[in-house]
Structure 1
Amino acid sequence: MKRHRFDVFSFLAGTLFTVLGVLYLTASLSGFSVNGRIVLPVTFIVLGAAGLIGAVTAFSRRDRGPGQRPGPD
C-alpha cells in the first residue's frame, strides 16, 4: 500500500461523525435525549475549524520547497 500524507480534516471529520453516531446510539438505548440545537452547530464549528487548520497547513507546506526546514531567516 502506498503511503500518503496524514489528512487532518478527514481524520477529524471521521472522528466527529463516529462520536455523533455513538452519542445518538447511546441516547436511543438509554432513554436520554440529545439536543439537536446544540449538536448541529457544534458539528459545523468543528468541521470549519478542521478545514481552516487543513488549509493553513497546506498553505505553509506549499511555501516551503522540498528539503527546506522552517526556521528564522
Structure 2
Amino acid sequence: MRKHRLDLFSLIAGGLFTVIAVSYLVAALNDETVSGRIVVPITFLVLGVGGLAGAVVAVARRNRPDRED
C-alpha cells in the first residue's frame, strides 16, 4: 500500500469535531449544558489555525525538491 501525504487541516478538523461531540455527550450524561458562546468562536479559531497550518505545510512541500524512492 502506498503512503499518502498527511492532510493537516483534515486531521485538525476531525479532531476538533470529535472533541465537540464528546463534550456534548459528556455534558448530556451529566445534566449540564455546553455554551454555544464558547464553542462557536473556538471552532472558528481552531479551523482558522488549521487552515493556516495546512497552507504553510503545502508551501513548504512545494518548495522542497522531489525525492526519488
TM-score (norm 2): 0.88
Question: For residue 32 of structure 2, what is the aligned residue in structure 1?
Answer: 32
Q: Radius of gyration: which is bigger?
A: 1
Residue 23 of structure 2 corresponds to residue 23 of structure 1: yes
Q: Aligned residues, how many?
A: 67
Residue 42 of structure 2 corresponds to residue 42 of structure 1: yes
TM-score (norm 1): 0.84
1:7 counterpart letter in structure 2: D
Following the alignment from structure 1 to structure 2, what is the Cα–Cα distance between the partners of residues 23 and 50? 20
User: C-alpha displacement at 1:3, in angstroms?
Assistant: 1.8
- Cα RMSD for the two superposed structures: 1.1
User: C-alpha displacement at 1:14, in angstroms?
Assistant: 0.6
1:47 counterpart letter in structure 2: L
Question: For residue 10 of structure 1, what is the aligned residue in structure 2?
Answer: 10
- Aligned residues with identical type, % of pairs: 55
CA offsets per residue over residues 35-67 of structure 1, 9 Å max, x none?
101101101100110000000110111122214
Question: For residue 65 of structure 2, what is the aligned residue in structure 1?
Answer: 65
Question: For residue 71 of structure 1, what is the aligned residue in structure 2?
Answer: none
Runs of 4+ in 1 over 3 A off after TM superposition: none
2:17 counterpart letter in structure 1: F
Following the alignment from structure 1 to structure 2, what is the Cα–Cα distance between the partners of residues 40 and 51? 16
Following the alignment from structure 1 to structure 2, what is the Cα–Cα distance between the partners of residues 3 and 53? 21
**5+ long unaligned stretches in structure 2:** none
